[in-house]
Amino acid sequence: MPLDQMINTHPTGKTTGTAERPGKEHKGEALTFDIPAEVEQLRTEEIWRRSGRNSRTLVKEPNLRVLVVTLNEGMEISEHSTSGRLAVQVLSGHLQMRVPGQDLDLPAGQLMVLDFAVKFEIRALESSAFILTVAWIGRPAA
């Protein structure tokens, strides 16, 4: 699934869910998430077994998106950009990100931040999980 679809496929404040997991409220003054459990759930679902990739939106507000993403070794997110700032925090595995003029090596524990509208590609060098955060300045909160 293209990144823009992962980011924009459900209404603000609630995920739509899948046949394997119900929708979930994800709006409030303080939210907590069990990230290892989220990653484990993603890797048990049919879409992961079929495609080698899966994601779940944890927070969806007009000015902020936070997703947990899993990619099997060799899987890619093809060239893309967002109108907001983007952060990728590698939880496990090893990613390579291509941005104009450079390849970034991102093993587990690394955090990478891109400025507005920078084109990028992500490739999983190993089976990987990461947090993807997109923030927009000037967008009103809900």
* Residue of 132, 125, 129, 111 lying closest to 53 (CA atoms): 129
- b/e per residue, 49-70, with b = 16+ CB within 10 A? eeeebbbbbbbbbeeebbbbbb
Say what the alpha-carbon torsion angle 8, 11, 13, 17 is, to the nearest 10 degrees. Answer: -90
Do residues 111 and 30 touch, judged by C-beta distance below 8 A? no
Query: For each of the chain's 142 residues, which pLDDT tens digit applies?
Result: 445 544 555 455 655 666 666 666 656 678 889 999 999 999 999 999 999 999 999 988 888 999 999 999 999 999 888 888 999 999 999 999 999 999 999 999 999 999 988 999 999 999 999 999 999 886 555 5
Query: In the chain, what are the domain boundaries?
Result: 3-7+35-135
Q: Which fold has domain 3-7+35-135?
A: Jelly Rolls (2.60.120)
